[in-house]
C-alpha cells in the first residue's frame, strides 16, 4: 500500500487487480438466486487500509448503486462463536453479543 501511495506503478497495478478480483467475486455471488440484495461484508487486511477501502466501496456503489457495504463490529472469530452458540440453541442476548465483542477487543490490545 505504501508503495502504491507513492506512485509505484507495479504496486498500483497489484492493488487495482486485488480490488477488481474482489468486485468479480461480488458479481459472481450476485448471480445466485436470492443473493442480489444481500449486503457485502468487508473484513481483512486490505480493508484495514482506508484508501483501499474507500476505493472499493466507491467501485461497489458505482456498479450496484446503494448496495450496502458493512464493516463488522466484531471479528469473524467472534461471529463464528456467536453462530456456534446459535447452532447449540443457546439464546444470543445483547449481553452475550457485548461480552463477545468486549472479549475480542481485549485480545486485540
CA dihedral 21→8→70→89, nearest 10 degrees, is: 70
> pLDDT under 50 in the chain at which residues?
none
- What's the rounded Cα separation, in Å, for the pair 38 and 93? 24
pLDDT reported for residue 108 = 66
Name the average pLDDT for the chain.
87
Query: Closest Cα partner for 71 from 43, 52, 104, 50?
Result: 43
Q: Is 70 in contact with 39 (CB distance < 8 Å)?
A: yes
Core vs surface per residue 23-55: b (16+ CB within 10 A) or e: beebeeeeeeeeeeeeebebeeeebebeebbee
Amino acid at each position: 500500500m505504501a508503495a502504491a501511495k507513492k506512485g509505484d506503478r507495479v504496486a498500483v497495478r497489484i492493488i487495482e487487480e486485488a480490488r477488481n478480483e474482489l468486485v468479480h467475486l461480488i458479481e459472481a455471488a450476485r448471480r445466485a438466486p436470492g443473493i442480489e440484495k444481500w449486503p457485502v461484508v468487508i473484513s481483512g487486511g486490505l480493508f484495514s487500509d482506508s484508501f483501499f477501502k474507500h476505493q472499493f466501496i466507491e467501485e461497489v456503489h458505482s456498479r450496484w448503486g446503494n448496495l450496502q457495504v458493512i464493516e463488522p463490529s466484531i471479528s469473524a472469530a467472534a461471529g463464528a462463536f456467536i453462530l456456534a452458540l446459535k447452532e447449540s440453541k443457546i439464546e444470543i442476548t445483547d449481553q452475550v453479543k457485548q461480552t463477545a465483542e468486549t472479549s475480542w477487543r481485549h485480545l486485540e490490545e
